[in-house]
Structures are given as C-alpha cells and as structure tokens.
Structure 1
Amino acid sequence: MEQNEDDALEVLCLNEEEQMEVESQEIDMRAINDMLQNGPQSRMEFQSRECLFAAYQEYAKHKGFSVSTRNVQKEKYLMISCDRGRKPNVIKHLSNNMKRQLEARDMAGIRVCKNIRLLEVLAGGPSSLGASVKDCRNFIDQRRRLRLAEGDAAAIYNLFKRLQQQDRNFFHLMDLDDDNRLRNVMWIHPRSRAAYEEFHDVVSFDTTYLVNQYNMPFGTVVGVNHHNQSILLGCALFTNEHAESFKWFFTNWLDAMEGVQPTTILTDQCESIRIALREVMPDSINRFCLWHIVSKTNSDSDFNSMLYHSLSMDEFESRCDEFLTEHSLHNNKWLKDLYGER
C-alpha cells in the first residue's frame, strides 16, 4: 500500500514538472510571437536569457539580418548587437582643418591614439573638440583606404600601361580625387570585350569580395558563354560602395563595351547599385541574385524549394502563399519587399 502511494506521489510530481515546462514553453512562444508582430518594445518580459535571445534571433531572421551577444561587465545585463554587415561610416563633426591635421600626422607615422590626443590638446580638451574619438578613427580609416602605399598607384599604372602596349584593346581607367589620390580603378581585358559582343544577354555584378590590405571592395562583371562557362567581363576596385562610384564604373564599362547594354544584369539588393543602374543602364532589366537572397534565409529547405523547383508562375505563387502561411510570415517586411520587387 505504501509503495502504491509513493508511486502515485512520484507520478503527481512528474505531472506538475511537465505542466510547468509546458507553461514555460507557452510563455516563451507568446514572447517570440509578440516580438515578431510588434518588434522590440520597452518593458517586455521573458522567462530567461535564452528565451530573450531566441526571440531576438527569430525577429532578426525574419527581418533579414542576424544578431549576436556581446560580453558586458555586469552579469545582470545581456548585450545583443546587430550583425547586418558592413555599413558606411559617416563623419559629421570634423572640420577641414581637423581632417588635415589628422591625415598629416597619420602619414608621418604617428599612432592613432596619439594623433587624436594631440588634436584634443590643441582644441583645449576632449569636450572642446566637437567630434568623438570614433569620428576621428573612422576618418583616418577612410583616408588610409584612399591613400595607397608609396609606389602602389604608380605600379598599377605601369602594369596597365605595359598591358596596353601589348594589346591596344586593353581598357583601363583610374579615378582620382581632388588631391590626385587614387579613388577607383577599373580594367577590362581584350578577350572580355570580344566575348561580350557575343554574350551580353545576361551578366552579373558582384562586390562581395574584399582586398585584405586596403579593405577595398572588388567588383566583377561576369557572363556565361555558349559552353555554360563563366567569363570575366570587367573588374574594379572601389574605395566605397556609394552610388557615385557605381555610376562611374557602369558609365565607363558601357563605353568600353561600345554602348551595348546587357539585356539583364543580376546584382544583390544594394540600393546604391540599383540607383546607378537606373541612371546608366535604363534599358537593362535588373534582377536580384538568388545566391544573395538564399544566403539571408538560413538555408530554409522550403524556401529554397519554392525558389528553385517552381516550374511556372502559378506554381511559384501557390508555393509562396503556402510557405508564408505555414511559417506565419505574411507580415514579414523583408519578404513583402522582396515579393514586391519580383
């Protein structure tokens, strides 16, 4: 009899623990759903740090970016930072005189911390500087991108000159800023120009590559020949990814290709590229590269199947609606914008 009572008590305890676990999971799901619908709000409550981070992960995934945690000194705080990719640094508070001083001392080999400290001393203290330390560091970093090491620009020019002497159809341009420093550079091999005459129906433009030493985006135009092989149709190095840089490249690339616009050009979802294409190549159809789209979805099999295995527009529309309904994503802004651009 006592054994039966013990067994009943153990079962009761297990049922209570299971019920508490179920209630906790229900609270966690409500918190995640609330985050997805309304976004991060003040005074939101979560059962645990894990639930908090899981909610932010789901929200970030549906918005098209990712998040990560960072260490903080106090254990009761959890710092979550956006990991959306590189963004342009904006310098708002540095005067022209301050910029000249920072760059001159940087060229003289003075370390960044001492360089900024000298600027603070000359201004009468950090509070009188009118700019933050981060502003100063960002400016120095940008100027270093523009300023190649001694002899590098000349070496590039001499290489291009030698290649043009070997073949007059070799095309190259070097874009300089107001101080005659190298800003952007592009080149096109004669074989690329000849191939483009036959294969200009679909090309892709990509800037996901980086040069390690100068951190300059490396852009490529790639096409496909009649053997289904990739062919390189032009290259460029940029100091930034602004619309003006892309306009400069596309304008000169089009000139080198005798003004023949590609029928379709594939790019990522960079707005600066789209602005440049609308102005320089209005007759070309701009479509988003599937690789870039899929890379933002954590390789969801249903999403990939919808993109790659739909054989007609009606099938795609049907599978898309099923996917959005199954994953409760009808109100997802990134997907709605993407669908609107289809």
Structure 2
Amino acid sequence: MDSYRAMCNEAGGEENLRHTKKDHLNYWTRLKMKNIEGGDAQAISKIMYQELANDPEFFFRFRLNKEGKLRALFWRDSMMREDYSIYGDVVVFDTTYRTNRYNLICALIVGINNHWKNCMFGCAFIGDEKIESFVWLLETFKKSMGGKCPISIFTDQDQAMCSAIQKVTFKDIHKGVKVTLFGSLKRDKDFKRTFSYCLKRCVTEVEFEAVWNSMIEKYNLQEDSWFQRIYDLKEKWCPALSKDFFSAGILSSQRSESTNHAIGFRANRSTSLTEFYSIFKACIQRWRSTEKHDEFLCSKSTASSAIPLSGLLKHASEIYTLSLFTYFEEKFGSLLNLTATKLNALARTLKLLDGYATTASEYYTYIQ
C-alpha cells in the first residue's frame, strides 16, 4: 500500500494510474512469491551468497537439523566487523524479538558508537533458547570477529544464555532487570520511582542498601522470591556496585530492545526470512546514514558550553563527539553545583559556629 500511494501521488491521483489497487496488490503478491521461489530457506541462502559476492568480508553460517531443515542462521557484513573492532568492548545480546512466520527467535548483537547511538554487530535466528543453541551462536559470532571477545556483555536474566556466555569465555556478564509488576505495585507511582532509583541513580553501596531495604520493608516484600533473586544479583545491575568495569553508559539490555522496536515496526507473524532481511538491511542503512551525518556535524562544529571552556572541560570538548561532550558537560556541571552547595553550607556552618565556639574542642562538641 505504501508503494501504491506513492505511485498515486506521483501520477497526480489514483484515477491517473493505469491499474487498480487490486491489480497492484496481486502483482506485489506474485513478486514476493517469486522472491521465495523454491522455499524461503533457499531464498535467504541465495541472498547470503549474493551478499558474499558483493562483499568478500561478509560472513554467514547456517545450521540444519537432522531432516535438513534450517535450524539456525547468523550473519554480519564487513562494516559490522569494523564497528566491532572499534566499539566492541561492550555488547548487548538479547532475544526479545520474535516476529516471523516460522517462530524462529531473532537474536540481535548490538553495540554503541562514539555518538552514543546503536550500531549492529550481528544478527541471528535460532530455533530455541537452549544452551546448545546459544553456544553455537556465540561461538559463530566470536569466530566471525576473529576470536575477539568483548570486555562486558549485557543480557537479560535467561540462565541458558548466561551459561552459554560463560562457556564461550565472555568475561563479564551484566544482567538487565526486566520488571513485570502485578497488583497494587503496578499502579503505585512512589514504588516505581523508588525502584527506578535503585536501578539507575544510587551512587554508593550504602545508599543502595538503605533505599532498597526501606522499599522492601515499606511494601512488605521480604518473602517475595523475585525481589530476593534480583537482590542476589545486584552486583550485575546496580550502578553503585559495578563501577569497576566499562559499560559505555549501558545499565540494562534496553539498547537491544530499542533495536527490536526499530526493526520490528513493519514485521509481523507472517513475515518471511527474506522479508525480514530486507527490513533489517534498510534499518541498518538508516543507522549508518545517521552516523555519517553525526560525523559530518562533529567535523564542522565546535562544542559550546554554558560553563567557561577551561582545563578539563576544554580537553573534553577536543576529544569527545558532540553527543558525549553534552553528557560530560551535564555531569561536570552537576559536580560543580554540588561542590558549590557544600562549600556554601560549610561557610554558613562556620559563620554560625563563630558565635558559639572559640576552640577546636568546642567546635567538635557543637557539631556532635
């Protein structure tokens, strides 16, 4: 229908076309059938070999079952390998997207570029979420990238996926917390705000423990097995407890989920593999076009700031992209405000004490 409306617009109206809407849809159906002639698996295989002919660094692997039917598929192009060599310290691996007529599970491997936007490292379809399937996928991905492993990998709480990651020797696994709330908690805004604070905003372990324990006690969740389980995994998702690894600003697997949304807006349960590949490729082309635009802006623009560019801030403006500098400036400004607030509070305290104490011991006694 998109193509039909575009042709109507170009012709100056539907009445100026030489075919009807029904003719158009019938032709489109025949065209799709021609694309998957001989079976969708054979069609996607043909596409992969065509991509390899056009891009010698293109990489793909199939896995068949005992009946010779497609069980798993992985691919990545040369640009994905180049991106991984630059931005592959941190990856997000998730399987939340399942939109195709064969009920295959789509697994996306995503990273973040220097403009803090998604970049694709690889895509796969697997038949199930068993350890064996994940091991095959991760070993294939690792092989396609010359054996290089990321420093950290973010995923959900799927145990089979985590076991597979450990088997393939990915170093650090960081789990996202996917929250499904029921009953009164689903409608309690204060609870959602407190829980979100634990997930994203706690700075120290002491602060996290205080906020978490207060929340558990307030909402009587001491016996809740789900909250107990994620608390036992707190080192994997709480930012206050995971400051010793590079995360590129990722707190959960939301990067992959946003990728799923970006790719899946035109796909549905009837989407074939060949149709999905076309949607996927168009999405990646949009991402890369956006990255080129960001690169152009960085090359032609100079970072500006409401704070005087001197010292550390000036150095950051010279080495960071515009997106990252904006984030750095925000955190830098917050730090300055916090420091100023503490200094003002200290000055007021000293001024107040001046009328009450004359010796160091008296100052100490007053503060106590």
TM-score band w.r.t. shorter chain: 0.5 to 0.7
Q: Counterpart amino acid of 1:171?
A: F
Please name the residue that 2:112 is paired with. Answer: 224
SS in structure 1 of the partner of residue 146 of structure 2: coil
Shift in Å at residue 284 of structure 1?
1.8
1:275 aligns with 2:167: no
Structure 1: distance between partners of 2:106 and 2:37: 18
- Please report the TM-score for the alignment, with normalisation by the length of structure 2: 0.50
Structure 1: distance between partners of 2:176 and 2:82: 25
Please name the residue that 1:315 is paired with. Answer: 207
The answer on whether the counterparts of 2:37 and 2:43 sit within 8 Å (CA) in structure 1 is no
Please name the residue that 1:59 is paired with. Answer: none
Q: Counterpart amino acid of 1:341?
A: L
Please name the residue that 2:225 is paired with. Answer: 333
Q: Counterpart amino acid of 2:157?
A: Q
Q: 1:141-220, aligned counterparts within 5 Å? A: 150-220=38-108
Structure 2: distance between partners of 1:247 and 1:216: 17
The answer on whether the counterparts of 1:268 and 1:289 sit within 8 Å (CA) in structure 2 is yes
Structure 2: distance between partners of 1:255 and 1:294: 36
Shift in Å at residue 184 of structure 1?
0.4
Shift in Å at residue 336 of structure 1?
1.1
The answer on whether the counterparts of 2:87 and 2:112 sit within 8 Å (CA) in structure 1 is yes
Structure 1: distance between partners of 2:154 and 2:137: 16
Residue in structure 1 matching 2:147, options 240, 244, 259: 259
Residues 180-215 of structure 1 show CA distances to partners (whole Å, capped at 9, x for unaligned) of 111000101211110111112211111111123112
Please name the residue that 1:16 is paired with. Answer: none
Q: Counterpart amino acid of 1:266?
A: F
Shift in Å at residue 294 of structure 1?
6.6
Residues 145-203 of structure 1 show CA distances to partners (whole Å, capped at 9, x for unaligned) of xxx99521111111000001111111100001122111000101211110111112211
Structure 2: distance between partners of 1:260 and 1:313: 33
Shift in Å at residue 301 of structure 1?
2.2
Residues 213-253 of structure 1 show CA distances to partners (whole Å, capped at 9, x for unaligned) of 11211110000011101101110011111111111000010
Indicate how the Cα distance of structure 1 residues 288 and 188 shifts in structure 2: closer, same or farther if over 3 A, else same: same
Q: Counterpart amino acid of 1:249?
A: L
Structure 2: distance between partners of 1:161 and 1:192: 17
Please name the residue that 1:25 is paired with. Answer: none
Please name the residue that 1:49 is paired with. Answer: none
SS in structure 2 of the partner of residue 165 of structure 1: helix
Structure 2: distance between partners of 1:192 and 1:313: 37
Indicate how the Cα distance of structure 1 residues 219 and 149 shifts in structure 2: closer, same or farther if over 3 A, else same: farther
Structure 2: distance between partners of 1:258 and 1:168: 15
Shift in Å at residue 286 of structure 1?
0.7
Indicate how the Cα distance of structure 1 residues 265 and 149 shifts in structure 2: closer, same or farther if over 3 A, else same: farther
SS in structure 1 of the partner of residue 115 of structure 2: coil
Structure 2: distance between partners of 1:219 and 1:289: 16
The answer on whether the counterparts of 1:250 and 1:277 sit within 8 Å (CA) in structure 2 is yes
- Please report the TM-score for the alignment, with normalisation by the length of structure 1: 0.54
Structure 1: distance between partners of 2:179 and 2:89: 22
SS in structure 1 of the partner of residue 98 of structure 2: strand
- Residue identity over aligned pairs, in percent, reads 28
Q: Counterpart amino acid of 1:285?
A: D
Indicate how the Cα distance of structure 1 residues 232 and 341 shifts in structure 2: closer, same or farther if over 3 A, else same: same
Paired residue total: 193
The answer on whether the counterparts of 1:307 and 1:316 sit within 8 Å (CA) in structure 2 is no
Residue in structure 2 matching 1:301, options 169, 173, 193: 193
The answer on whether the counterparts of 1:205 and 1:267 sit within 8 Å (CA) in structure 2 is yes
Unaligned runs of 5+ residues in structure 2 are 1-35, 235-368
Structure 1: distance between partners of 2:102 and 2:149: 31
Structure 1: distance between partners of 2:71 and 2:175: 27
